Amino acid sequence: MRRFILIFVPYVWLIALFLIPFAMVLKIALSDIAISIPPYVPQFDWAEGIRAFLAQLDLENFTWLTQDDLYWKAYLSSLRIAVIATTFTLLIGYPIAYAMARAPTEWRPTLMMLIILPFWTSFLIRVYAWMGILSNEGILNQFLMWTGLISDPLVILNTNTAVYIGIVYTYLPFMILPIYSALERLDASLIEAAEDLGCSRFSAFWLVTIPLSKTGIIAGSFLVFIPTLGEFVIPSLLGGSDTLMIGKVLWEEFFSNRDWPVASAVAVILLLLLVVPIVLFQRNQQKQQEAEQ
């Protein structure tokens, strides 16, 4: 009985906070836009019965998504930005995680603290801070002009570069922490054994360290990739008019056009796209747990 309750709690959580809202969004996605409150029809009416209600639902909005090329371009562009940003985060995060894992034991908690510390301030404030740094009159440009490296300010804000900077900055800890935990567990004698058997420092790293931190790399990459794909705040604050991301399209569809049904259809497709990496991520975590037993 106790076991049943223990399993029951997460299921209730999932049903109440994921499945029911998803069903509601799906229903709106299958509805039609209307000038009313809420701005869509049909509304469920007990008098007409469930059959008549279901008969009014259709896939029109999903068809629309395939007809206007804005949507698939936004999906593809989001995918590209997410892949590139994840790669950059990995390239920057791995050396940091490696240095942390190799640091003296007494230093590690401090370094870990420094990685987590930015989370103590609001995410929005940190993104606004980047606007202050990257704008034409921002700190970065002022500094570069003061040193004489450039004479005209660099245009960084409201470009894709600013979006990449923002994403890498925001999601770096999610990349560092899983890689660090994999590297920290790595037995140093394995590297010595590899060198003893004829590896140079570099090939020992390539043949032993990288394969043994693989689960950390995969976990970190998904933790960055999944939220980046639907990211809205960073592209809308740091990106320009040419930054096309599905999160932004979704927001505009919902708040500017007040087209709830199309916005919901966009959200449903985004969720389906995310299911693939989420399932892969779960499988990676499971494999790691099995390997540890």
Q: Which residues bind another protein (CB under 8 A)?
A: 187, 189-190, 192-200, 203, 207-208, 211-212, 214, 291
Bond preceding residue 227 cis, omega within 30 of 0: no
Which of 194/229 has CB closer to another protein? 194
Which of 258/287 has CB closer to another protein? 287
239 φ, ψ to 5°? -80, 170
Instruction: Report the nearest approach of another protein to the CB of residue 44 (Å).
Output: 55
Q: Collapsing DSSP states into helix, strand and coil, what is residue 40?
A: strand
Which of 117/190 has CB closer to another protein? 190
How many alpha carbons fall within 13 Å on the CB side of residue 2? 0
Which of 140/212 has CB closer to another protein? 212
Instruction: Report the nearest approach of another protein to the CB of residue 210 (Å).
Output: 10
Q: Which run of H or E residues covers position 32?
A: strand 32-33
Instruction: Report the nearest approach of another protein to the CB of residue 203 (Å).
Output: 7
Instruction: Report the nearest approach of another protein to the CB of residue 236 (Å).
Output: 43
Tokens of 282: 């779960």
Instruction: Report the nearest approach of another protein to the CB of residue 291 (Å).
Output: 8
Q: Collapsing DSSP states into helix, strand and coil, what is residue 267?
A: helix
Q: Who's near 49: CB < 8 A, 6+ residues apart?
A: none
Q: Who's near 16: CB < 8 A, 6+ residues apart?
A: none
Q: Whole-angstrom Cα distance, residue 78 to residue 69?
A: 14
Distances (CA, A) of 111 to 181, 217, 249: 13, 19, 38
Instruction: Report the nearest approach of another protein to the CB of residue 201 (Å).
Output: 9
Q: Collapsing DSSP states into helix, strand and coil, what is residue 151?
A: coil
Which of 22/206 has CB closer to another protein? 206
Instruction: Report the nearest approach of another protein to the CB of residue 220 (Å).
Output: 18
Q: Where are the alpha helices (DSSP H) in the chain?
A: 2-14, 20-29, 49-55, 60-67, 69-102, 108-116, 123-134, 139-147, 160-185, 188-196, 201-204, 210-212, 214-229, 233-238, 246-251, 260-292
Which of 108/214 has CB closer to another protein? 214
Which of 31/209 has CB closer to another protein? 209
Instruction: Report the nearest approach of another protein to the CB of residue 102 (Å).
Output: 16
Which of 152/290 has CB closer to another protein? 290
| Burial degree of 167 (CB within 10 A; 0-12, 13-18, 19+) | buried
